[in-house]
């Protein structure tokens, strides 16, 4: 029973955060833009969603609003980089820092002065009418939340996969790989970067909104370490499964998130105090980086000879 519970927690946590990781995949891997604003857009989405639910809005509407807020924040990161020529890392730091204030302002405005927004007992996507169509539990294990999380995660994954196969999605991929190629197609790579960052941060906010509703609470500090977490998941996923030809990158990212969450969860159940959590995250990240470098080099020369 204990093991089943741990597996359930890993899958739930993995599904919640995989959406954020897929957003990071879009900006970091596809667009080649190390976007630090995710640390701010994830709690932004959580707080927007929680405040709106608390104010009596429909949970799905609150999710849409959260995504728009995240998208706007990502758009600003992009504008700073494209229009003001600020370096990517700095753009992310600036937006993230600004969001520290904005998140607090929204939370306090919504709750009348608190930095923690609770939606305990309110209707969320996990307790609403649609959710009640799914069985509460099977064999004594509560599964409704897990199923809903997986449905959302898979919908997001499929939408990203479909998008990357469209003309616009292919142009986005080209923007990250070879900006000059996009210019020669008479398209502005700057616009594509802004678009990509908007999508990536909208996904981070979506992830935040879902986390807020699943945990029935949102706070301004929940975003700490999200960039490290997202990048680790992406790197672990893409590195471990790179040789699996038929697997899509989004699937790899989801599996990477699950593996990452499993490592954290196992550490916790082995008795590691939660104070060590962020430290462990960084260690895992460094291990992932080193491994990806090693495996990458072993993969060797990608260029064929003439």
Partner 1 sequence: MLRLENINKTFNAGTIDECKIFDDFSLNIEKGEFVSVIGSNGSGKTTMLNIICGSMMIDSGNIVFDGKNITKLSEYKRAKYMGRVFQSPGMGTCPNLTILENMSLADNKNKPFGLARGVNKKRVDYYRSLVEECGIGLENRMNVPVGSLSGGQRQALALVIANMANIDFLVLDEHTAALDPKSSQLVMQLTDKFVKKSNITTRMVTHNLRFAVEYGSRLIMMHEGKCIVDIKGDEKKNCNVDDLLRKFNEISIEKGN
DSSP-based three-state secondary structure for 227: helix
Q: Which is nearer to partner 1, 270 or 306 (CB)?
A: 306
Packing angle, helices 167-177 and 189-215, rounded to 10 = 110
Least CB distance to partner 1 at residue 70 (A): 20
Least CB distance to partner 1 at residue 61 (A): 24
Least CB distance to partner 1 at residue 299 (A): 12
Rounded to 10 degrees, the C-alpha dihedral 176/177/180/186 comes to -60
Least CB distance to partner 1 at residue 36 (A): 24
Q: Which is nearer to partner 1, 108 or 248 (CB)?
A: 248
Q: Which is nearer to partner 1, 129 or 167 (CB)?
A: 167
Least CB distance to partner 1 at residue 7 (A): 35
Least CB distance to partner 1 at residue 178 (A): 5
DSSP-based three-state secondary structure for 110: helix
For 273, residues 6+ apart whose C-beta sits below 8 A from its C-beta are: none
Q: Which is nearer to partner 1, 1 or 186 (CB)?
A: 186
Instruction: Output the CA–CA distances (angstroms, integers) from residue 176 to 27, 172, 271, in the order listed.
Output: 9, 7, 42
* Other C-beta atoms lying within 10 Å of the C-beta of residue 141: 12
Q: Which is nearer to partner 1, 84 or 304 (CB)?
A: 304
Rounded to 10 degrees, the C-alpha dihedral 55/57/61/66 comes to 0
Instruction: Output the CA–CA distances (angstroms, integers) from residue 225 to 5, 36, 272, in the order listed.
Output: 25, 10, 18
Q: Do the beta carbons of residue 197 and residue 76 sit within 8 Å?
A: no
Which residues make up the interface to partner 1 (CB under 8 A)?
Answer: 163, 165-171, 173-174, 177-178, 180-189, 302-306
Q: Which is nearer to partner 1, 3 or 303 (CB)?
A: 303
């Amino acid at each position: 029973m204990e093991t089943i519970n741990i597996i359930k927690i890993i899958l739930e946590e993995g599904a919640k955060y995989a959406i954020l990781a897929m957003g990071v995949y879009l900006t970091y891997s596809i667009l080649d833009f190390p976007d630090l604003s995710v640390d701010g857009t994830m709690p932004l989405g959580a707080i927007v969603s929680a405040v709106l639910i608390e104010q009596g809005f429909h949970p799905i509407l609150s999710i849409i609003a959260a995504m728009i807020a995240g998208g706007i924040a990502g758009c600003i990161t992009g504008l700073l980089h494209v229009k003001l020529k600020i370096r990517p890392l700095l753009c992310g730091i600036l937006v993230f820092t600004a969001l520290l204030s904005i998140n607090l302002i929204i939370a306090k405005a919504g709750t009348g002065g608190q930095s923690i927004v609770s939606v305990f007992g309110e209707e969320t996507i996990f307790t609403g009418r649609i959710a009640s169509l799914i069985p509460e539990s099977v064999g004594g294990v509560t599964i409704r939340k897990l199923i809903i999380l997986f449905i959302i995660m898979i919908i997001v994954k499929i939408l990203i996969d479909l998008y990357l196969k469209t003309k616009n999605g292919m142009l986005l991929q080209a923007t990250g790989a070879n900006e000059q190629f996009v210019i020669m197609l008479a398209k502005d790579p700057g616009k594509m970067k802004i678009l990509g960052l908007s999508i990536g941060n909208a996904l981070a906010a979506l992830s935040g909104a879902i986390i807020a509703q699943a945990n029935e609470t949102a706070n301004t500090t929940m975003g700490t370490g999200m960039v490290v977490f997202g990048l680790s998941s992406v790197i672990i996923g893409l590195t471990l499964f790179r040789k699996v030809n038929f697997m899509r990158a989004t699937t790899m990212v989801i599996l990477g998130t699950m593996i990452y969450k499993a490592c954290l969860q196992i550490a916790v159940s082995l008795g590691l105090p939660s104070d060590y959590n962020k430290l462990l995250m960084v260690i895992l990240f460094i291990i992932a980086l080193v491994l990806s470098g090693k495996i990458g080099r072993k993969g060797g020369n990608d260029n064929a000879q003439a």
